[in-house]
A and B are shown apart, each in its own frame.
Chain A
Amino acid sequence: GAGVSQSPRYKVAKRGQDVALRCDPISGHVSLFWYQQALGQGPEFLTYFQNEAQLDKSGLPSDRFFAERPEGSVSTLKIQRTQQEDSAVYLCASSLRGGLVVNEQFFGPGTRLTVL
Chain B
Amino acid sequence: AQSVTQPDIHITVSEGASLELRCNYSYGATPYLFWYVQSPGQGLQLLLKYFSGDTLVQGIKGFEAEFKRSQSSFNLRKPSVHWSDAAEYFCAVVLSYNTDKLIFGTGTRLQVFP
Chain B interface mostly? strand
Determine whether the beta carbon of B97 is less than 8 Å from that of A107: no
- A99 with B97, Cβ < 8 A, contacts A42-B106, A45-B102 known: yes
The answer, yes or no, to whether B90 is at the interface (CB within 8 Å) is: yes
| Binary contact readout B86-112 vs A (1 if CB under 8 angstroms, 0 otherwise) | 000010101001011111111100000
Kindly identify, within residues 16 to 43 of chain B, every residue whose CB is under 8 Å from any CB belonging to chain A: 32, 36, 41-43
Chain A interface mostly? loop
In angstroms, Cα B100 to Cα A35, docked, is 13
Determine whether the beta carbon of B43 is less than 8 Å from that of A110: yes
Q: Please indicate the chain B residues that have their CB under 8 angstroms from the CB of A33 in the complex.
A: 100-102
The answer, yes or no, to whether A98 is at the interface (CB within 8 Å) is: yes
- A107 with B43, Cβ < 8 A, contacts A42-B105, A42-B107 known: yes
In angstroms, Cα B4 to Cα A108, docked, is 23
Which one of B44-52, B63-71, B72-80 is at the A interface? B44-52
Between A and B, 24 residue pairs with Cβ closer than 8 Å are: A33-B101, A33-B102, A41-B106, A41-B107, A42-B4, A42-B92, A42-B105, A45-B102, A48-B99, A48-B100, A48-B101, A91-B43, A91-B44, A93-B44, A98-B100, A101-B97, A102-B100, A105-B46, A105-B100, A107-B44, A107-B45, A109-B41, A109-B42, A109-B43
Q: Residues of B at under 8 Å CB distance from A?
A: 4, 32, 36, 41-46, 49, 51, 90, 92, 94, 97, 99-107
Q: Residues of A at under 8 Å CB distance from B?
A: 3-4, 31, 33, 35, 40-45, 48, 55-56, 59, 91, 93, 95, 98-110
